[in-house]
Amino acid sequence: MDKIKAVIFDLDGTLADTLPLCIKSFQLAFEEILGVKYSESEVIKYFGQTEEGIVKSLAPDRWEECLDAYIKIYTENHDLCPAVFDGVNEILEFASNNNFKMAMVTGKGVHSVYITLDYYGIRKYFEYVETGSTTGIIKDQCMEKLLKLWQIPANQAVYLGDQPSDITSSKKAGVLPIAVTWASTTNSDLLEAENPYKIFSKTSDFKIWLEKLSGCPAV
């Protein structure tokens, strides 16, 4: 394995257990604006698009109102997810202090991603933040963009994600896919079926792996 120089992170379900907040915010927004109660499954099937894409799919005639309501509800209810996963801050701090290039590639839209990064106080760790598309998953394209900006080979970067699509997107970009299963919303069997480069069920185990890569274990 070549030396790993860059760590690219997903957000929802990888750094924090925010997927339930996303789902609930969509449900409340649609109920408020449309008077419609969508089930979790009806909302989740559109995931992969940004929030704008999801509201355009479910409320094409009133999507702007629904998007505004979503952002308001998402912001006001962020206390439902008060902190990142235990150990995540330590991972980010270690990677930053040991000269790993760091970025985020998320399917979230530009508004909600910064709401969450600022809420947790972790925006400072990411040199670049690449958001999603209204039409579907573009994570592989975002990773390829980062590799060009950093001018590093794909096999010198890893991507941390909690969904099978994260693994397939990483492979398309040539980036080493790291599956993480510490979120309540993660299906470990589906992740393992995608044959990731590594799979971690604990943040502490991933940090130990990073320490070994850096050759500089943290105290």
Residues designated catalytic:
10
Q: In what order do the strands lie in the sheet with 128-130?
A: 128-130, 101-105, 6-9, 157-161, 176-180, 198-200
**How far is the C-alpha of 60 from the C-alpha of 63, rounded, in Å?**
5
- Which conformational region is residue 6 in: left (phi greater than 0), alpha (psi within -120 to 50 degrees), or beta? beta
Tokens matching residue 195: 């044959």
